[in-house]
Structure 1
Amino acid sequence: MHHPHSGTPPGARRPAIPVTVWMLGVVSLLMDVSSEMVQTLLPLYLVGSLGASAMLVGFIEGLSVAVATATKFLSGLFVDWSRRSKPLAVLGYGLGALSRLFFPLAASVDLIILAKAMDRVGKGIRGTPRDAMVAAVSPPEIRGASFGLRKSLDTVGGFVGPLLAVLVMMLMAGDIVTVFWLAAIPAALAMAVLIFGVREPAENGAAKRAGFRLSQALQLNRAVWGVIGIASVIMLARFSEAFVLLKSLEAGFSPTWVPLSMVIMHAVYGLAAYPVGRLSDRIGTTGLLLWSLAFLAAAHLVLAFAGSAWVYILGTVFWGLHMGFSQGLLGAMIAGATPDGLKGSAFGAFNLTTGAVVLLGNTAAGWFWQSFGSAVPFLVGAGLSLLAMLLLAIGGRRRVAA
Structure 2
Amino acid sequence: MKNEKNNLEEKKILGIPWNAFIFGFVSFLNDFSSELTIRALPLFLKNVLNAKTSVIGLIEGVADSTATILKIFSGYLSDKLNQRKWLVTIGYGLSALSKPLLYFANNWVFVLVIRFLDRVGKGIRTSPRDALIANTTKKEELGKAFGFNRAMDPAGAILALIVGSFIIYFTSKNALKLTQHLFQILVLVSIFPVFVALFLIIAFAVDSKNQNPSATKVNLSLKGFDRKFKLYLLTISIFTLGNSSDAFLILQAQNRGLTVLEIFLMLAAFNLITTLSAYPAGILSDRIKRQYLIVMGWIVYALIYLGFGLATKTYQIVALYILYGLYYGLTEGVEKALVADLVPPEKRGTAYGLYNGAVGIFAFPASLVAGFLWQYINPSAPFIFGAVLAIFASIMLLKVVNMKSDN
Q: Which residue of 2 aligns with 1:190?
A: 197
SS at match of 1:50: coil
1:225 aligns with 2:224: no
- Distance in 2 (alpha carbons) for counterparts of 1:216 and 1:48: 43
TM-score by length of 1: 0.92
User: Structure 1's 213 and 275: CA in aligned 2 closer, same or farther, altered over 3 A?
Assistant: closer
SS at match of 1:183: helix
Question: What per-residue deviation string (whole Å, max 9, x for no partner) do you get for residues 39-84 of structure 1?
Answer: 1210010011111111111111111011001211110011101111
- Distance in 1 (alpha carbons) for counterparts of 2:57 and 2:298: 22
Question: What per-residue deviation string (whole Å, max 9, x for no partner) do you get for residues 214-258 of structure 1?
Answer: 266643221211221121122223221101110111221112332
- Distance in 1 (alpha carbons) for counterparts of 2:405 and 2:318: 38
Equivalences, count:
387
Please show how residues 2-401 of structure 1 align to structure 2 within 5 Å: 16-173=15-172, 175-201=182-208, 203-204=209-210, 206-209=211-214, 211-214=216-219, 218-399=223-404
Question: What per-residue deviation string (whole Å, max 9, x for no partner) do you get for residues 318-338 of structure 1?
Answer: 321111111011101111000
User: Structure 1's 254 and 126: CA in aligned 2 closer, same or farther, altered over 3 A?
Assistant: same
- Distance in 2 (alpha carbons) for counterparts of 1:135 and 1:378: 34
1:210 deviates by 6.9
Q: Which residue of 1 aligns with 2:11?
A: none
Q: Which residue identity is paired with 1:50?
A: L
Aligned-pair Cα RMSD in Å: 2.0
1:158 deviates by 2.3
Mean alpha-carbon deviation: is it higher for 98-107 or for 390-399?
A: 390-399
TM-score by length of 2: 0.91
Q: Which residue identity is paired with 1:24?
A: F
SS at match of 1:100: helix
- Distance in 1 (alpha carbons) for counterparts of 2:206 and 2:344: 23
Q: Which residue identity is paired with 2:20?
A: V
1:345 deviates by 0.4
- Distance in 2 (alpha carbons) for counterparts of 1:380 and 1:317: 21
Question: What per-residue deviation string (whole Å, max 9, x for no partner) do you get for residues 158-177 of structure 1?
Answer: 22222222222223335111
1:115 deviates by 0.7
- Check whether the contact 2:270–2:324 (CA below 8 A) recurs between aligned residues: yes
1:363 deviates by 0.4
Question: What per-residue deviation string (whole Å, max 9, x for no partner) do you get for residues 286-342 of structure 1?
Answer: 221221111111111221123223211221133211111110111011110001211
- Distance in 2 (alpha carbons) for counterparts of 1:138 and 1:22: 11
- Check whether the contact 1:77–1:217 (CA below 8 A) recurs between aligned residues: no
1:400 deviates by 8.3
User: Structure 1's 232 and 99: CA in aligned 2 closer, same or farther, altered over 3 A?
Assistant: same
- Distance in 1 (alpha carbons) for counterparts of 2:32 and 2:223: 36
SS at match of 2:250: helix
- Distance in 2 (alpha carbons) for counterparts of 1:371 and 1:216: 38
- Check whether the contact 1:83–1:208 (CA below 8 A) recurs between aligned residues: no
- Distance in 1 (alpha carbons) for counterparts of 2:104 and 2:39: 17
User: Structure 1's 21 and 311: CA in aligned 2 closer, same or farther, altered over 3 A?
Assistant: same
User: Structure 1's 284 and 54: CA in aligned 2 closer, same or farther, altered over 3 A?
Assistant: same
- Distance in 1 (alpha carbons) for counterparts of 2:369 and 2:221: 34
- Distance in 2 (alpha carbons) for counterparts of 1:213 and 1:27: 29
User: Structure 1's 342 and 400: CA in aligned 2 closer, same or farther, altered over 3 A?
Assistant: closer
Question: What per-residue deviation string (whole Å, max 9, x for no partner) do you get for residues 361-396 of structure 1?
Answer: 110001000011211111111111111122122222
Question: What per-residue deviation string (whole Å, max 9, x for no partner) do you get for residues 265-303 of structure 1?
Answer: 211111111111111110111221221111111111221
- Distance in 1 (alpha carbons) for counterparts of 2:406 and 2:18: 38
Q: Which residue identity is paired with 1:289?
A: I
- Check whether the contact 2:79–2:350 (CA below 8 A) recurs between aligned residues: yes
- Check whether the contact 2:155–2:275 (CA below 8 A) recurs between aligned residues: yes
- Distance in 1 (alpha carbons) for counterparts of 2:19 and 2:232: 26
User: Structure 1's 217 and 390: CA in aligned 2 closer, same or farther, altered over 3 A?
Assistant: closer
Question: What per-residue deviation string (whole Å, max 9, x for no partner) do you get for residues 90-122 of structure 1?
Answer: 100001111111111111111101110111011
User: Structure 1's 134 and 211: CA in aligned 2 closer, same or farther, altered over 3 A?
Assistant: closer
Q: Which residue identity is paired with 2:206?
A: R
- Check whether the contact 1:71–1:124 (CA below 8 A) recurs between aligned residues: yes
Q: Which residue identity is paired with 1:96?
A: S
Q: Which residue identity is paired with 1:166?
A: S
- Distance in 1 (alpha carbons) for counterparts of 2:93 and 2:272: 27
